[in-house]
Amino acid sequence: MAANDAGALLALGEGGAASEESASASAAPSDEETVGQDKDEIDDGAESADSDGRGQILSHPLDRWSKDQIEAALAKDPDSLGSMSIGYAHAGALVNGVQMPPGDGWELVNAEHAWGTRETVDNLTHCLKRVSEFFPGAARMYIGHISGRRGGHLSPHKSHQCGRDVDVSYYYQSGQEKWYATATAANLDRERTWAFVRTLITDTDVELILMDRSVQRLVRQFAIARGEDREWIDRLFDGGGGLSPLIRHAKGHATHLHVRFYNPLAQETGRRSYEILVKRRILQPPS
């Protein structure tokens, strides 16, 4: 489960060290988005602009490290510190990113824009593999944008800046699979889509899932028919009375779902290293 409450246990640094600059509000439409229905920037960040994106972690590999030790490690072997997710989903950067690997059941829409933190890539890969284990023989599905290699603005998104956001296709019925196909009662593979979403929730530190209401309805009905706990389902989906459900509606998400993971390791490494990254010019300071 997303561990908002447990996140409070974090020994926090200065918090949100990276730029407060607003997300670029006027991304020029690019060829990347011509496949989409919306000509506007995709609304994948606004709904969580209030979130500081902290995950659950009780200890951290850098717990006993001084700033000098971190600086020495960065000078000698920057990779040794692992992935760093800097700042916010809508104003951030990625250091030591990991490229999503190809897999049997999925295709990368654009490998250059499929960089995440180690945690993000591992979480995503885990869930995809679990669905294949539970329900072999799925139609191919697609991994859209995660982040650019170094994070930062990635057209046409508001978020996807710090290696924690992933766009993935829905699972479709065999023969209907296609990147950016609008999910409908006729083409949605409800069983695998629910299995994927359920695994995200039960097995990873997921912060939010954006899904169009029309698709939520289909997946939610399926989950209830499948015998899932009604109260749990009501809390998870939009419109169940929960204040801030994990699965939320956002414009532009009938064609794919958007997942944001907490990255307790990479976010904390980023906070602790930020000043030094800027000092060593590995990162640009906020402008």
User: Which CB, 27 or 62, lies closer to Zn ion?
Assistant: 27
Residue 260 as a binder of Zn ion (CB under 5 A): the answer is no
Residue 220 as a binder of Zn ion (CB under 5 A): the answer is no
* Cis peptide leading into residue 286 (ω within 30°): no
Distance of CA 267 to the CA centre of its chain: 13
Inter-residue contact 83 to 96 (CB < 8 Å): yes
Inter-residue contact 166 to 258 (CB < 8 Å): yes
The contact pattern for Zn ion, residues 88-127, with x = CB under 5 A and - = no contact, is ----------------------------------------
CA terminus-to-terminus distance, the chain: 35
Inter-residue contact 209 to 124 (CB < 8 Å): no
Q: Which of 63, 57, 62, 60 is nearest to 8 (CA)?
A: 57
**CB 112, min distance to Zn ion, A:** 16
Stretch that binds Zn ion, among 5-13, 74-82, 174-182, 255-263 (CB under 5 A): 255-263
Give 67's contacts (C-beta < 8 A, 6+ positions apart).
275, 276
Give me the amino acid identity at 23. Answer: A
Stretch that binds Zn ion, among 18-26, 39-47, 197-205, 264-272 (CB under 5 A): 39-47
**Which residue of the chain is nearest Zn ion when measured via CB?**
258
User: Which CB, 65 or 180, lies closer to Zn ion?
Assistant: 180
User: Which CB, 54 or 258, lies closer to Zn ion?
Assistant: 258
Interface pick for Zn ion out of 33, 47, 167, 207 (rule CB under 5 A): 167
How far, in Å, CA of 125 to CA of 225, rounded? 27
Interface pick for Zn ion out of 43, 44, 47, 205 (rule CB under 5 A): 44
**CB 248, min distance to Zn ion, A:** 12
Binding-site size, Zn ion (CB under 5 A)? 3
Residue 249 as a binder of Zn ion (CB under 5 A): the answer is no
Give 7's contacts (C-beta < 8 A, 6+ positions apart).
54, 55, 56, 262, 264
Token pair 């499929």 in the structure block, residue: 114
User: Which CB, 163 or 274, lies closer to Zn ion?
Assistant: 163
Per CB under 5 A, residues contacting Zn ion are 44, 167, 258
